[in-house]
Amino acid sequence: MLMKFSYLLLAGLTNGSVYGLIGLSLSVVYGSSRVINFAQGEFVMLGAMCAVLFMVTFALPWPLAALAMLAIVVVAALGLDYGIYRPLMRRKAAPLTIMIGTLAGAIVVYGLAFLLWGPDQRYVPPVLSLDPVRLGFLITNSQQISLIVIFFVFLVATWFILYRTRFGLSVRATGVDPKIALLMGIRSERIVQFSFIFSAFISGIAGMMVGPLLGGHVGMGLLLTVKGFMAAILGGLGSPFAAAAGGIAIGLMEALMAGYGTSLYAEPAIFVLILLVLVIRPYGLLGDYEAERR
């Protein structure tokens, strides 16, 4: 029983790390722009599928493939910024309109990926070895361990940027009120651009690392966007760290329900949990309340 429970915890922590990274990315963008980027999961998909393109088709070593992949996801992030966010902001569009714009961007990315790779699931080559590694009585692999480590590394990096640098102070100020931040000399558009690029960077790395474990296909972005959004809502959309914690909670809940019951009820149970949390704490389990003076 203990061994089974430990394996389920490891599986939940692995999946939760992916959900947490996407939730963290969504929260970073939301924190600077007050917009939910519904194309976030497509960056994960691009990370996995670009690994196929550069490591299999072009036979590049993984460091060069990673750099090429990051270039692709950054270009996609800049496309969202310059092609959707900025034009709509200059027209004083409502946040909901911009969110629908990001969804349209996700559909465009999916369509291009579908034309390039087709609908079939692809083998994603691992960055690290998939050979079994024993940790006590657990058997895992280097790729799985590295994904969990990367999750905590990005948590620390995000905390350091936001709370230990002057640039992070500018990011948080822009999230509170971009107009006042602009009057204080903060270039709000550049801050939002950074949030798009940083979140794409995180999600692209997550896709390249989780692809060998789950496989890669062009439709994976939508599902991961939903899971990341659920993580952000459960933990607290206003805080990247609360959103990341929500991802871990969802991953563990999925694994435990699949191991001790059936996975068919995992997602309905998670939605019920999120509904209960929103009734009791509208800003999420770990989210902070925001006061607005009218």
Can you list the domains of the chain with their CATH numbers?
Answer: 2-280 (1.10.3470)
Q: Which pLDDT value is given to residue 108?
A: 95
Tokens at residue 181, please?
């931040």
Q: What is the structure's pLDDT at 107? A: 95
Are 221 and 106 a contacting pair, CB within 8 Å? yes
pLDDT, position 44:
95
Tell me what pLDDT residue 268 has. 83
Distance CA 233, CA 223 (A): 15
* Rounded Cα distance, 28 and 12, in Å: 23
Q: What is the dihedral of CA 80, 21, 215, 122, to 10 degrees?
A: 20
Helix (H, G, I), strand (E, B) or coil at 138: strand
pLDDT in tens, 15-30: 999 999 999 999 999 9
> pLDDT per residue over 67-110, tens digit each?
999 999 999 999 999 999 999 989 988 889 999 999 999 999 99
Question: For residues 46 and 204, what is the distance between their CA atoms, to the nearest angstrom?
Answer: 7
* Non-local CB neighbours of 290 within 8 Å, separated by 6+ positions: 238, 283
Residue 133 has a pLDDT of 83
pLDDT of residue 274: 87
Q: For the chain, which ranges sit under pLDDT 50?
A: 289-294
d(Cα 220, Cα 260) in Å, to the nearest integer? 26
